[in-house]
Amino acid sequence: MSPLIRLSLRLGSVVVLAVVLLFGAGIWAATQLQQDLLPNITVPAFVVITAYPGASPGVVDQQVTLPVVSALQGVAGVTTVDSTSASGASIVTVQFKDGIDTTAARQTLSSSLDRARPSLPPQVQAPNIVTFSTSGLPVLRYSVYANESLGDLSSQLRSALPVRPLKRFRSSSIP
């Protein structure tokens, strides 16, 4: 027999005590772990949405999207700028290098958009910068179906569901 086995057999109570202590330390460590159902992941990308009510996609492209894209392409750390012009809205996606400080990048984007604002038509609303982050995603979502009107069902749910745990309650109808 090996010396470790002989020592374990001779000091059996010490081995049992060591196993119990290790097991207890493992349980304690598991309770101290910080776990998230959905960890906060921030992607180094932003979407700039600029509304121009009533304008056609061509007008939005020429008068809104092009000035916004040209203002954002010169920002330090930008790797990709993609744009889409739709009826009444310009959507520009700006991607940055990995590891960039997203707060500073957002401030830089905001100041670049402020400098481009005078070149936009006066009817254009202020650009809205949207970030990509998992912290804004809902953790739990419920769906309810009933043969009642949406208003009746919504009022019943608002009175029946606990108010405190819900951060936001929105009812919608899908045809």
Mean pLDDT for the stretch of residues 161-165: 60
Q: With a cut of 80, say whether residue 81 has pLDDT above it.
A: yes
Q: Domain check: are 78 and 55 in the same one?
A: yes
Q: Domain check: are 112 and 167 in the same one?
A: no
How many domains would you assign to the chain?
Answer: 3
Mean pLDDT for the stretch of residues 29-47: 79
* pTM to 2 decimal places: 0.59
pLDDT of residue 139: 64
pLDDT of residue 175: 43
Q: Give residue 18's domain range.
A: 3-32
Q: How many CB atoms lie within 10 A of CB 57?
A: 15
Q: Name which of 55, 38, 44 is nearest 139 in CA terms.
A: 38
Please tell me the distance from the alpha carbon of residue 92 to that of residue 32, in angstroms, as a whole number.
43
| DSSP class per residue in 122-145 | TTSPPPEEEEEEGGGS-S------
Q: Domain check: are 132 and 46 in the same one?
A: yes
Mean pLDDT for the stretch of residues 7-18: 87
pLDDT tens for each residue of 104-137: 888 999 998 888 888 888 888 988 888 877 766 6
Please tell me the distance from the alpha carbon of residue 124 to that of residue 136, in angstroms, as a whole number.
27
Residue 82 parent element (H or E) = strand 78-86
* Residue 37, domain member (yes or no): no
Least confident range of 18-27, 129-138, 156-165: 156-165
Q: Domain check: are 85 and 119 in the same one?
A: yes
pLDDT, greater one: 161 or 64: 64
Q: Domain check: are 145 and 131 in the same one?
A: no
Q: Domain check: are 85 and 15 in the same one?
A: no
Q: What percent of the chain has pLDDT over 70?
A: 86
Instruction: Pull the structure tokens for residue 68.
Output: 């916004």
Q: Name which of 79, 81, 88, 80 is nearest 61 in CA terms.
A: 88
Q: Domain check: are 11 and 83 in the same one?
A: no
Q: Residue 94: pLDDT band by 50, 70, 90 thresholds? A: very high
Q: Domain check: are 125 and 48 in the same one?
A: yes
Residue 7 parent element (H or E) = helix 3-10
Mean pLDDT for all residues in the chain: 82
Q: Tell me the one-letter amino acid at 94.
A: V
Q: Domain check: are 125 and 70 in the same one?
A: yes
Strand partners, 86: 89
pLDDT of residue 174: 47
Q: How many CB atoms lie within 10 A of CB 60?
A: 24
Mean pLDDT for the stretch of residues 143-172: 69
